[in-house]
Amino acid sequence: MAGWICLVTGAGGFLGQRIVRLLVEEKDLQEIRALDKVFSPELREEFSKLQSKIKLTILEGDILDEQCLKKACQDTSVIIHTACIIDFLDVVHRETIMNVNLKGTQLLLEACVQASVPIFIYTSTIEVAGPNSYREIIQNGHEDEHLESTWSTSYPYSKKLAEKAVLAANGWALKNGGTLHTCALRPMYIYGEGSIFLYNHIYKALRNNGIIQQNSKFSIANPVYVGNVAWAHILASRALQDPKKAPRVGGQFYYISDDTPHQSYDNLNYSLSKEWGLSLESRMSLPLFLEYWLAFLLEIVSFLLSPIYKYQPPFNRHTVTLLNSVFTFSYKKAQRDLGYEPLFSWEEAKQKTMEWIGSIVKEHKKSLKTKTH
């Protein structure tokens, strides 16, 4: 596609901004449209510097604003849709999550048809596949297993329905008579510099005398580095622009992992931060089945109190399952269809993330010194 235009939704987010940085290098790309509800001043400044390489248009707007979507999709060639609300603990109101994650995706698909955008890439999540039970073991899972989450929790449920909508839209007729090609990428748990989840774990540990709380010692996961997830999106856009590859890729979903060692989430946090003096707590933890039933009791208490008081349990059955399952996936299908190979090795990803964690540790020490003086 000579002189093509790419719209990235959620471009101010952890993954979205990485996709924008990689898109800058794509050949024949005429313009990147970065859409998000809000952009930090630092990111605005960084994006404005990229203007010397490519036309980069910042669009501040809501995924539920149809006029905004109409404007963003005008003359666009490829949509990469990463915008969503991620919520594991069910803190955000259910209606808000369903609106942004599902309705926002449906509205974007409609705008895409009206503006005759031929390619739509959706950032899904491993959570649309499960895990449904901590007793279930999936190792090196693949797309042909047709795994599906049975949780009614807002986040996995909204993402599952949105992914179904995107894949069902493959082959839709566009207003100009063309055909829509869609695909979905399901990344594993994404880590890397800028991760809000990783930041929260590290910050919590720093306030706890450098001790990382263990809450997922029974898990075996294959976390994926953010740069590799962004790279998979670039390759998906190339594949759907290729007339030979598009029929094979259209309507498909792909698990996106990399060569990060399979390990528990606790061990990942530890291996990325031990250089800065952080350590794993050594106390005994509750047996898993007890933790699960305790989560169930807390959910009942929350439900009973709901008419008079909003009690937010510290964990629920979904998080206990998510954090303590053996649930790993292969990227072979993405390798075969998209030509995906991780852009960053585990060593590179580890180094970059460790340096970022180091900056958090230094910042924390600095703020402690300021308080003591």
**CA–CA distances in Å: residue 316 to residues 59, 82, 319:** 37, 26, 5
Instruction: State both tokens at 50.
Output: 């990229």
How many of the other CB atoms lie within 10 Å of CB of 241? 17
Return the C-alpha torsion angle 115, 121, 122, 124, nearest 10.
170
CB 317 within 8 A of CB 259: no
Among the listed residues 122, 155, 225, 331, the single catalytic one is 155
Tokens 């989450």 belong to 149
How many of the other CB atoms lie within 10 Å of CB of 75? 14
How far is the C-alpha of 81 from the C-alpha of 63, rounded, in Å? 10
How many of the other CB atoms lie within 10 Å of CB of 21? 15
Return the C-alpha torsion angle 33, 39, 42, 47, nearest 10.
0
CB 178 within 8 A of CB 118: yes
How far is the C-alpha of 240 from the C-alpha of 256, rounded, in Å? 17
**CA–CA distances in Å: residue 121 to residues 14, 63, 211:** 17, 16, 40
How far is the C-alpha of 139 from the C-alpha of 146, rounded, in Å? 14
CA nearest neighbour of 228 among 255, 196, 248: 255
Sign of CA dihedral 55, 60, 123, 222: positive
- Name residues whose C-beta falls within 8 Å of residue 23's C-beta, 6 or more positions apart in sequence: 6, 8, 29, 32, 234
Verify whether residue 155 is a known catalytic residue. yes
Please identify every residue annotated as catalytic: 155
